[in-house]
C-alpha cells in the first residue's frame, strides 16, 4: 500500500519518532544516493520559497530528479485542466508527487487519484504536515525532548495551517501545554480546541502575551495570512496585531526558542534575529533533512 502524507495524523507517534531519527542521520550525512533513478514531481499551485526549494534540495541530495512547476500559470491548469487530469497525467511520469494547492482537501483528492504516493506541501488553511515534522525536529533538537513543552502559538491561528498540524502532532507527546495568542478574529478554530479537549490536553487563550512570555519553552510566531482573508478590510484591521521585539525577551527562559514557519512580514522585528533564542532560520534549514527523511520513509527506502 502506498504511504501518502496528507494530514499529520496519517503518521503514528512511532513514525514521528522515526522521521526525527532519520532527519538527524541526514543532517550528519545529507548526500545519499537513495533516490537514484527516481523522478519526483514538485507541483506548486501556490507560491513557496522554503517548502519547494527544500524539497527540491532534498531530492537532489538523495540523487533523484525533479520535474514540475512553481507557478500554475505555466501549466495547463491555466487552460482549464482539472486537478484530477493533472494528477492522472503527472503520476504516469513520476515515482512521487509533492503538491501545494490553495484548496483545503486538494492533497487528499490528489492522493485518491494518484497511484504513486502524494506528499501534501500545504493545502489552503488546512494542513502542512511536512512543516510540522521539521518544527518537531527543531523542538527536539533545541529542547532535547518533545514532552512537557509549553508552546505559545501567536498570530493567525485561524488561517495558519502550520499551527493546526503542529497542535495535532504535539498532542501525541507527554503533557504539552498550549497557549494560543490571537485577536478575536484569528482565534484557533473550535475543531482544534475540541480535539484537545477530547484528549484532556490543557490550552489557554490570550489576547496579549507580554506578561506571560516568561513561561514559554517555544514561541511559535505566525504571519497573518493575507491571501486567505475573504475581505481585505478585515486583514487591514489585524495585520500588525503582534510584533515580537528583542526587548520582550529579557525575562524569558534560557531554553526558549523562537520558531516561525516563515515567511515573516513584520511579526518578528529584525532586532530579534541576532538573539540566540531566534531559531527560525535554522528551523528552515532543518526542513531539508526532515524532507529527506519523509521522502525516504514514504518510498520505503529507509
Point out which span in 34-42, 64-72, 240-248, 261-269 binds ligand CP (CB under 6 A): 261-269
Q: Is 95 exposed, middle or buried (0-12, 13-18, 19+ CB in 10 A)?
A: middle
Choice from 48, 60, 187, 225 touching ligand CP (CB under 6 A): 48
Rg (CA), the chain: 19
Catalytic residue check, 79: yes
Query: Least Å distance between CB 39 and ligand CP?
Result: 22
Establish if 8 lies at the interface with ligand CP (CB under 6 A).
Answer: no
Establish if 263 lies at the interface with ligand CP (CB under 6 A).
Answer: yes
Query: Least Å distance between CB 118 and ligand CP?
Result: 17
What count of Cα atoms within 13 Å lies in the side-chain half-sphere of residue 253? 18
Task: Report the DSSP pairing between strands 203-206 and 218-221.
Answer: unpaired
Catalytic residue check, 223: no
User: Closer to ligand CP at the Cβ: 56 or 217?
Assistant: 56
User: Closer to ligand CP at the Cβ: 232 or 263?
Assistant: 263
Choice from 86, 131, 283, 290 touching ligand CP (CB under 6 A): 131
**Whole-number Å distance between alpha carbons of 33 and 292:** 11
Q: Is 74 exposed, middle or buried (0-12, 13-18, 19+ CB in 10 A)?
A: exposed
Q: Please, what is the angle between helix 129-143 and helix 50-61, to 10°? A: 80
Query: Least Å distance between CB 69 and ligand CP?
Result: 15
C-alpha cell at 161: 495551517
Point out which span in 46-54, 192-200, 215-223, 241-249 binds ligand CP (CB under 6 A): 46-54
Establish if 228 lies at the interface with ligand CP (CB under 6 A).
Answer: no
Catalytic residue check, 50: yes
Catalytic residue check, 100: yes
User: Closer to ligand CP at the Cβ: 38 or 50?
Assistant: 50
8, 141, 157, 295 from 300: Cα distances, Å: 18, 25, 34, 9
User: Closer to ligand CP at the Cβ: 47 or 232?
Assistant: 47
Query: Least Å distance between CB 107 and ligand CP?
Result: 14
| Sheet strands side by side (includes 65-69) | 65-69, 39-44, 96-101, 118-123
User: Closer to ligand CP at the Cβ: 19 or 213?
Assistant: 19
The catalytic position among 50, 65, 108, 239 is 50
| CB-based burial, 98-134: b 16+ in 10 Å, e otherwise | bbbbeeeebbbbbbebbebbbbbbbbbbbbbbbbbbb
Phi, psi values for residue 37, rounded to 5°: 85, 0
The catalytic position among 52, 61, 86, 100 is 100
- Count of residues that interact with ligand CP, criterion CB under 6 A: 9
**Whole-number Å distance between alpha carbons of 232 and 225:** 11
Residues marked as catalytic: 50-51, 79, 100, 128
**Contact set with ligand CP (CB under 6 A):** 48-51, 122, 131, 261-263
Amino acid at each position: 500500500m502506498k504511504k501518502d502524507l496528507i494530514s499529520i495524523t496519517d503518521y503514528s507517534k512511532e513514525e514521528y519518532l522515526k522521521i526525527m531519527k532519520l532527519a538527524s542521520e541526514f543532517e550528519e550525512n545529507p548526500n545519499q544516493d537513495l533516490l537514484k533513478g527516481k523522478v519526483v514531481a514538485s507541483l506548486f499551485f501556490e507560491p513557496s520559497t522554503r517548502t519547494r526549494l527544500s524539497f527540491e534540495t532534498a531530492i537532489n541530495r538523495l540523487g533523484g530528479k525533479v520535474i514540475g512547476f512553481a507557478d500554475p500559470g505555466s501549466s495547463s491548469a491555466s487552460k482549464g485542466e482539472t486537478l484530477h487530469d493533472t494528477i492522472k497525467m503527472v503520476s504516469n511520469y513520476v515515482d512521487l508527487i509533492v503538491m501545494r494547492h490553495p484548496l483545503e482537501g486538494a492533497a487528499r483528492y490528489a492522493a485518491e487519484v494518484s497511484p504513486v504516493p502524494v506528499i501534501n506541501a500545504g493545502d489552503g488553511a488546512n494542513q502542512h504536515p511536512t512543516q510540522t515534522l521539521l518544527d518537531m525536529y527543531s523542538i527536539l533538537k533545541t529542547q532535547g525532548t518533545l514532552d512537557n513543552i509549553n508552546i505559545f502559538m501567536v498570530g493567525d491561528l485561524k488561517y495558519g495551517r502550520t499551527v493546526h498540524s503542529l497542535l495535532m502532532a504535539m498532542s501525541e507527546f507527554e503533557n504539552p501545554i498550549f497557549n494560543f495568542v490571537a485577536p478575536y478574529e484569528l482565534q484557533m478554530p473550535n475543531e482544534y480546541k475540541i480535539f484537545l479537549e477530547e484528549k484532556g490536553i490543557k490550552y489557554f487563550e490570550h489576547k496579549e502575551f507580554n506578561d506571560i512570555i516568561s513561561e514559554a519553552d517555544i514561541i511559535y510566531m505566525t504571519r497573518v495570512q493575507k491571501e486567505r482573508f475573504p475581505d481585505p478590510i478585515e486583514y487591514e484591521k489585524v495585520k500588525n496585531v503582534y510584533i515580537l521585539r528583542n526587548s520582550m525577551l529579557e525575562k524569558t527562559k534560557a531554553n526558549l526558542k523562537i520558531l516561525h514557519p516563515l515567511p515573516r512580514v513584520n511579526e518578528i522585528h529584525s532586532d530579534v534575529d541576532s538573539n540566540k533564542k531566534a531559531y527560525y532560520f535554522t528551523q528552515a534549514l532543518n526542513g531539508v533533512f526532515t524532507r529527506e527523511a519523509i521522502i525516504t520513509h514514504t518510498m520505503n527506502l529507509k
